[in-house]
Amino acid sequence: MSSKRVADGAVDIGAQYFTSRNPGFLTFLENHAGSDSFARWPASFGFQKADKSWQSFPDETRYVGTPRMTAITRGLSAHVELTTQVRIAQMNRSGSRWRLICTEDEDHGEFDQVVVTAPPAQTQDLLKASGLASLLEETRAPGGDILPCWAVAVHFRNAPAARFDAMRPDSDVLYWVANNSSKPERNDDGQWWVLHATPEWTDANVDASPEHVSSALLAEFKQLTGLDGEPTDSVAHRWLYARSASSIRPGFLWDPSQGVGIAGDWLVGGRVEGAWDSASLLTEAMLAD
């Protein structure tokens, strides 16, 4: 749910929207992030079939953070004591508690229980360094297929002539394109569009320069929309751990004997709501113990 600051505001470069299949999810957001931190995105969505014809997405209520996706995470983090710019490298057992040591070899105190919500690669590094072999093994199947994604945001003074606000094209390069300026409370001068590359193209170009990636995605976007013009600004970001493709979905992992739990959308099959589902299931298990 990441946003990047740009000249006239911010642009969402990670999750583009979210849905709510469990009514409890929206209630949680209203109570803890604030009802003004998100709103419905009444956009038109289309996907391109193999014959290059277009079809509308199924009707579904879609939400975004307002005025940017990070408004939600900022609202949620206001309720907790949050230490940023720290990576815990090792958890050392101290009696019945865990002592957390960061990469700078600083001690961050003792805790009765630990919840890890990092992507699977970093989670596995931490579990291995902490001697939690059993829990480490349980992460391998659900965490074995995390897809990367190059994301590029481009700004146009004159709006492209696109038939939908958000599109999933039939393309070897582009997986997703969306008019970020069509989202509520985005008061942009011109239009910001977000372009996500396909996992396959990203994997083949994972170490390419941001300039090369931006040029390739923009060229494909021009072909898709018939745009005959250059952007006035652009920004690129590489997500190494963007989306889970694993069919193994345990929901969460919990070792009551160690007091260590793992939560994340990758344990439920992805989606923003999936992260909340995973955390909810984990906390229920922790409370039951």
- CATH code for position 107: 3.50.50.60
Structure tokens at 10: 């911010």
**250 forms bridges with which residues in the sheet?**
none
Can you give the pLDDT at residue 158?
A: 86
My answer on whether 140 and 151 are in the same domain is no
**Predicted TM-score of the model (pTM):** 0.92
Half-sphere exposure of 136 (CA within 13 A, CB side): 12
Residues 18 and 93: their CA atoms lie apart, in Å, by 38
My answer on whether 138 and 225 are in the same domain is no
In the predicted model, is pLDDT for residue 134 greater than 90?
yes
My answer on whether 51 and 153 are in the same domain is yes
Can you give the pLDDT at residue 161?
A: 82
Query: What are 175-215's pLDDT values in tens digits?
Result: 999 999 999 999 889 999 999 999 999 999 999 999 999 99
Cβ contact 63:39 at 8 Å: yes
My answer on whether 235 and 184 are in the same domain is yes
My answer on whether 150 and 139 are in the same domain is no
When pLDDT is cut at 50, 70 and 90, the band that residue 67 belongs to is: very high
- CATH code for position 196: 3.90.660.10
Provide the 3-class DSSP secondary structure of residue 228.
coil
My answer on whether 267 and 214 are in the same domain is no
In the predicted model, is pLDDT for residue 32 greater than 90?
yes
Q: In the chain, how many domains are there? A: 2
My answer on whether 97 and 240 are in the same domain is no
Residues 266 and 255: their CA atoms lie apart, in Å, by 18
Cβ contact 34:75 at 8 Å: yes
Of how many residues is the chain composed?
A: 289
My answer on whether 232 and 151 are in the same domain is yes
In the predicted model, is pLDDT for residue 159 greater than 90?
no
My answer on whether 115 and 26 are in the same domain is no
Query: What are 79-117's pLDDT values in tens digits?
Result: 999 999 999 999 999 999 999 999 999 999 999 999 999
My answer on whether 168 and 53 are in the same domain is yes
Please, which residues have CB within 8 angstroms of residue 288's CB and are 6 or more apart in sequence?
none
Phi, psi angles (nearest 5°) of residue 260? -125, 130
When pLDDT is cut at 50, 70 and 90, the band that residue 245 belongs to is: confident
Residues 216 and 3: their CA atoms lie apart, in Å, by 22
My answer on whether 239 and 168 are in the same domain is yes
My answer on whether 128 and 268 are in the same domain is yes
115: containing domain: 83-144+246-288
Can you give the pLDDT at residue 27?
A: 97
**260 forms bridges with which residues in the sheet?**
114, 255
